[in-house]
Amino acid sequence: MEMTTNNNTKLVLSIMASYASSISRADDELKRFRSYLRWICVNQSNAMHEMVSWSIFLLLDIFIPTASHFAYNVMVQRSLTSTYDLSYFYLSTFVAMASVASSSSTRCFFFY
């Protein structure tokens, strides 16, 4: 009986140690999220980043489909472009809300 209890204790301690190493902290998660936003060029924290973000948006949304020499189905291209437009506008709105919430004293629901 003593041997089984000792083995169970070791097993539980090893599981807890592996679990503790995988727990993430809130500041690490926010740091990763912000670096991801910078990586996909949606960081709108200042005027320069916002200008780069919107320039890339216009490049991908208007210039690339117009200048492409591949013949696309017009309906497919319009639906893809409108989906891209909506997702970009929602993501940029989310980022703007997040930057306002992080600069104020109140916390927003997605930072908990």
Task: Report the chain's mean pLDDT, rounded to a whole number.
Answer: 69
pLDDT at res. 59: 82
Counting Cα atoms < 13 Å in the Cβ hemisphere of 55 gives 6
Higher pLDDT pick, 54 / 26: 54
pLDDT at res. 88: 83
Cα 2 to chain centroid distance, Å, stands at 50
Higher pLDDT pick, 82 / 29: 82
Torsion of CA 23, 103, 98, 57, to 10 degrees: -120
- Tens of pLDDT along 3-50? 555 666 666 556 655 555 556 565 666 777 777 766 666 666 777 877
